[in-house]
Structure 1
C-alpha cells in the first residue's frame, strides 16, 4: 500500500463500486441505473458529461472483473518505477482520451453508411480498461532495448487485432489509448533497434500474421469491415499466405534479402487484393455477392496489418542484406590464419587464454584493430576469450565482430572474456561470470608457512621416493615417454561417459605445439607418474610473462600427490626464469554467485552441481585453491537473455563436438545416479 498508493486506491474504488452497485455478482448492464452511469456517444448526446468518471469505476459483468483487475498490473509496475503521479497521469489521461476519442471517432464514422460504426455509436460501456491499457503501454518504455521493442509490438498488435477482428467499443478505446501513449512517449523507434532485433521482429510479425488470418477464418469476427461466419471466407488466399510465410519466415530471421523481397511482395498483393474487394463491393454489390466477396472481411482487415508490416519492412530494410557464408566477413580481403593469430599474440601480447586462439577448429575475423577468434555452432558465433591485438583497439574489434555476426544473421557472444572486453561491449549487453581465473603471482614466491604445507609435503615426498621433475616439450621427449603420456590420457578419457572436452580445454594434440611446455613427473624406474601442459602468456614485444595450465593427467595408482608436486615445481621453475604469473585457469561452472549476480548465475551454479559427477568442476576449483591464487572473473558476454536459449546448445557443441546421442544419454544416467 505504501509503495503503490495510487494503484491500490483505484483498485479499492473499483471493488467498492462493485459491492455498492452489486456488479460483483450481477451484470451492471442489467441494472435500472445503467443509462445514468455508463459512458459513450449516447450519454454525451444526452448531456451526461459525468459518465466518464462514474463509468470508470464500474465493470460491465462479474466475469469481466478478472481481466479488469489484472489490467492494473501495468499501472502498479508504472507506479513502482515512476511514482504515483506519473501512474495517475497516464491512467487518467488514457481513460479520458480513450472514452472521448472513441466517441468522436464513432460520431464521425456513423455519419457514413458504415453499419459497424452506426451500431457502436449507439453503444454504452463502463470500465477502466482505457486507463489501464495506457499504463501498460507506458510500461513498455521503461524496459531497455531490445525488450522495449518486443513489448511494444505485443501491446500494439493486441490493440490493432482487437479493433479489426473483435471490434467492440472497448477495443476502440484500447487502440486510442495505445496510440496516445505511443505519440506522447515516442519510445518505439525501429531505427534504433539492432540489426538482429529488426530481423527477429519481422520473423515474429510474419508468423503472427499467418496465425491471425487462419484464426479469422475459423472463428466469428465483427470488425470495422463487417461480420464473418466461422469457416467461410477466402481459404485460398489464406492458404497461399500461410505457405509463403512458412517458406520465408526463417529467411527473415536470418536477414536474407530474398526473404525480404518475397515478404514485401506478398504484403503488397494482400493490400491490392483487399482494395479490389472493397472497390467491387462498393461499385457492384450484386457482383460481389455472386463472387463471394461479401465474406472477404477477414482479408480486408488483414490487409491493414499487411500494410503496417510493409511500413515496418521498408523502415528496417537495411537489416535484410545478408548472404550465406561459412566465415564472418571482416576488414581485409582474406580471413586470418592460425599463424596470423600466433604472430599477433607474440607481438601485442594477450590474456591467459589467448594462446587457445591458435588451436585447430578456430575461425578468425580480421578487424581494423586486430583479430577476433571464434567458432560457429548452431547459428551462434562464439568469440573465444578477448580480441587479439592492441589493448586500445579492443572496443573496435568487439563492435566489428558484433556487426559482422548480426549482418550474417548469427548470434554473437564472447566466452571466457575478461573485464576489459566486458567494458568494450555495446550498451545494454549482459554479462555472466562463468568461472574465476586462478592467478598465482610468481615474483618472490616461497613455499613457506602453513598454507603451503601440502606443496612442501609433495616436494619432500617426491625427493624421498625418487620422483623427478622436468620441464620439456612433447617433441623433446623420447618415443617411450610420449607413449606413456598417451596411455595415461587415454585411460583418463576412457573413464568418462563423454569424450574429452574441447574449445577452452586442450588435448594431447594441442600439447604437441612446440611453444607449449610439458611438466613431467618421472619415477626412478622411468615411469611417467603424471604430466601437465602449460600454454604461454605473452607480453607486448614477445616476452613470455607467464604460463597457463591446460592438461592435468596422472597415472592410476601412481604417486599420490603428483599434481601438487607438478604445479609446485612448475611454479618454482617459472619464477626462477623470471615469469610474472602462473594461471591455473578457471574451472567452468564452478563460480559461486554472489547475491547480486541474478537468477541466471544461480542457475549456472546449479548446472555445475548437476555436471559435477561427470567432470568434477567444483572439485577441480577446490584443488586449485590450495595454491593461494588471486581470482579474476571470466565472463560470458551476450546481448540479452533471449539469446541464452541458443548460446547454451552452441557451447555444448563447441565443448563436445564429437559426442554422440548415446554418450549424452549415458552421461545423463550418470548424473541421475549421483542425483
Structure 2
C-alpha cells in the first residue's frame, strides 16, 4: 500500500478531499471579509457597500453585477459566524451527492433567490405598504440563499423519516423569519427553498405514515410556541409592522405556551381531543387576528384596546393558518382514544393464545404470552401478545399463528399501535420476526436463548463431568428427583416451595421481575411442570419450573426453564442435579429441545459493536449484584447449549428512551421509587466495598 493511498490519509484530509467546493466557497467568503475588513468593521459603513450589495436601488443605478458580488460578503461582522455555519449544509450535500450537485444548487439557489426577491420587491413596492416601501430601499449581502438551497436539497440525501423532518424544519424556519422579521435575506431564503421544493417535490403525500403525520403536528405546535417566545424576547420588523421586546403581556404568553405544550403532547400520541382543541385554538387565533386587523383601521379606537402591541398577533395568525390547514389535511391521523387494548373488540384471551399455540406451535418463550397482565391483538392470521406501558406497546416474543402469517401479524400490530398513539416494539423476538419487520426498523440484541438438543443426550465424556458429578453425588446422598405439577403436590410440598421462593425474593432490593420471568402463580398452571429435588428427610432442597414448547403438530416438542429456586444450606449442586435429571427425563419422553432461556445483557458482541456493546456492558455491571444475569449465564454454559439470538425490534433510536421506560415497568410493575433508590444504594455500597 503506497504512502498516499486514500486509506492511509488522515480522516480530515479524506474529508477535505470530498468537499472541495465547500472549502473554496468558505475560503472566498473569508478572503472577501478580510479584504473588505468586514470581519471586524460593518461593511454597510464602508464605501464598498454600494458597489457590492444587491437590492432595487443597486439595479436602478445600473449595478447589475451586485447579485453576484453580494454573495461573498456579510454584514454585520457577527453574522459571519452564522454564514460560515450555513456552509455545513453545502458540505453535507457535496459529501453525499458530489461537488457538481452542490455547486449547482448553491449557484441556482443564490441567483434565483436574489433575482426573485428583486422582482417580488419591485412588484409589491407599488403598494402603499410600509414594509414593501422599506424593502424597496434596502440593500443586502450574503450567500444564505445558496446555503439554504443546499440545506433543503441535502434533505433528499437523507432516508425517511429524516428527509421529511428536515424539510419541515426548513419550511418552518423560513415562515417564522419571513412573518416576523421579513428582511431581504428572509425573502431570498423563501424563494431559494421554493425553487428546491418545485424541482425535487420532496414533501410527503398521503403515503406518509400515521406516525409521521402526528410527529409533524407535534413539531408544528411546538414551533408556534417557540415563535411566540422569540417574538416576546426580541423586537420584530416584519410585514405586519414593528414591535418592541416584551410588548405583549407576559401572562398571556405563559398561558398560551402551556396550553400549546399540552396540546402538542396529545397530538404526538394521536389523541382526538388534542386535535379538536388545536383546531379550535387555531380558529380562535385566526379570528382574533382578523378582528385586530379590522380594528387597526378604525382611528377612533384606543391603541391599548387589544392588550399590548397587536403587531405580533397578525404574524402569529399566519402560523396558525398554516397549522390549521395541516390539521385538517392530516385529520385521519388524530383519531386515537384512550383505552386499555389496541385493535377491535372483543380482544382475544389467554385461552385463545394457548389454543393457537397448540394448533400451530411456537417458540421457546411463546408460553409466556399466556401469562397474566398480557393483552392481545387479533390479526388476520394470528394473535400478538403485548403489554402496554409508558406509551409503548411491547409485543412479547414472536406473533402466534402459522409462520407464513407472521409478517402480516407484525404489520397489523404496528398499524394498530400507531393508530392508538403508542410506540410499537417487539421484545425477545427471533430471527424470522426480525426479517418480518419493515426494512427501516432497527434491532438490538437483548439475550441469547440457550438451547440443549435432547436426542442422544447422555452426559458422557470430560465436558459433562460437572453435571455427571452432581448426579452421582445426589445418588450417594439419597436425593430424590421428581418431575410433577405444582397443583398436584400436597399442601406440605407447596408450602416448602412457597417458603423457598419467598426467601429468594426477600434477599433482593427489588421485587420479583415479571414479563419474561415467571412467579409461583405462573408455575401453578397445569401445563407447567415442576422439577423437585427432595432430600432423604423429605425437605425440598430446590425446584425448577418448565414451560411447554409446542410443535407444529400440536404436541409438546420441548421445555423452557423458568423458575430456579434453591433452599439455603441445602444440597449444594441442586441446580445441576435438577437440570440434568430433567434433561434425561425429557429426552426419554421424546422431547426434542430443552431451553435454559436467555439471560438478559449477556450477549457476546463482536469487536466492532460499538455503542450497543458499551451500553449493554454498563447495564450488566449495574444489575449483576441484584439479579446475577452474568453468573446465571455462566452456570448455563455447563450444559453446553447452542445459542439463538433474541432481539428488541424498534422503529428508530429516538424511540429507545420510551421503550426503556416501558420495559422497566413491564419487568418491575410493582417496584416503588424507594425500592429503585435502595437498590441503587446497594449497588454503590457493593461497588465501593
What range is the shorter-chain TM-score in? over 0.9
Contact 2:292–2:306 (Cα < 8 Å) also in 1: no
Residue equivalent to 1:121: 136
From 223, 232, 241, the counterpart of 2:247: 232
Residue equivalent to 2:657: 645
Superposition deviation, residue 244 in structure 1: 4.8
Residue equivalent to 1:25: 40
Matched, 1:508 2:520: yes
Superposition deviation, residue 573 in structure 1: 1.9
Residue equivalent to 1:171: 186
Alignment partners' CA distance in 2, 1:546 and 1:568: 15
From 149, 162, 180, the counterpart of 2:177: 162
Matched, 1:581 2:596: no
Contact 2:36–2:48 (Cα < 8 Å) also in 1: no
Residue equivalent to 2:322: 308
From 62, 78, 81, the counterpart of 1:63: 78
Superposition deviation, residue 130 in structure 1: 1.5
Residue equivalent to 1:299: 313
Residue equivalent to 1:518: 530
What is the RMSD of the two structures over their aligned residues, measured on CA atoms? 2.3
Distance 1:188 1:621, change over 3 A: farther
Matched, 1:90 2:105: yes
Residue equivalent to 1:272: 287
Superposition deviation, residue 510 in structure 1: 0.8
Distance 1:103 1:497, change over 3 A: same
Distance 1:29 1:663, change over 3 A: same
Contact 2:602–2:629 (Cα < 8 Å) also in 1: yes
Contact 2:247–2:308 (Cα < 8 Å) also in 1: no
Superposition deviation, residue 444 in structure 1: 2.5
Q: 3-state DSSP class of the match of 1:389?
A: coil
Residue equivalent to 2:90: 75
Residue equivalent to 1:594: 606
Alignment partners' CA distance in 2, 1:293 and 1:470: 83
Deviations 1:92-126 (A, max 9, x none): 22122222222222111212112212212222222
Matched, 1:452 2:452: no
Residue equivalent to 2:273: 258
Q: 3-state DSSP class of the match of 1:191?
A: coil
Q: 3-state DSSP class of the match of 1:2?
A: helix
Residue equivalent to 2:540: 528
From 404, 417, 420, the counterpart of 1:408: 420
Instruction: Trace 1:194-205 onto structure 2 (pairs within 5 A).
Output: 194-205=209-220
Deviations 1:523-561 (A, max 9, x none): 223222222111111011211111111111122222222
Distance 1:598 1:47, change over 3 A: farther
Alignment partners' CA distance in 1, 2:34 and 2:283: 52
How many correspondences in the alignment? 672
Superposition deviation, residue 225 in structure 1: 0.9
Q: Which runs of 5+ in 2 are unaligned?
A: 1-15
Q: 3-state DSSP class of the match of 1:556?
A: coil
Deviations 1:412-438 (A, max 9, x none): 211111122222223422221111111
Superposition deviation, residue 233 in structure 1: 4.7
Q: Is the deviation greater in 284-293 or in 352-361?
A: 284-293
Distance 1:597 1:111, change over 3 A: farther
Deviations 1:503-523 (A, max 9, x none): 100011111111111122222
Distance 1:13 1:451, change over 3 A: farther
Residue equivalent to 2:640: 628
Superposition deviation, residue 291 in structure 1: 4.6
Residue equivalent to 1:148: 163
Contact 1:472–1:517 (Cα < 8 Å) also in 2: yes
Distance 1:316 1:609, change over 3 A: same
Q: Is the deviation greater in 197-206 or in 285-294?
A: 285-294
Q: 3-state DSSP class of the match of 1:574?
A: helix
Superposition deviation, residue 51 in structure 1: 2.5
Superposition deviation, residue 289 in structure 1: 4.9
Q: TM-score, normalised by structure 2?
A: 0.92
Distance 1:211 1:5, change over 3 A: closer
Q: Is the deviation greater in 88-97 or in 600-609?
A: 600-609
Superposition deviation, residue 140 in structure 1: 2.5
Distance 1:180 1:237, change over 3 A: farther
Contact 2:547–2:562 (Cα < 8 Å) also in 1: yes
Alignment partners' CA distance in 2, 1:394 and 1:532: 32
Q: Which runs of 5+ in 1 are unaligned?
A: none
Contact 1:432–1:601 (Cα < 8 Å) also in 2: no
Distance 1:203 1:190, change over 3 A: farther
Contact 2:382–2:400 (Cα < 8 Å) also in 1: yes
Distance 1:386 1:105, change over 3 A: same
Instruction: Trace 1:278-289 onto structure 2 (pairs within 5 A).
Output: 278-282=293-297, 284-285=298-299, 287=301, 289=303
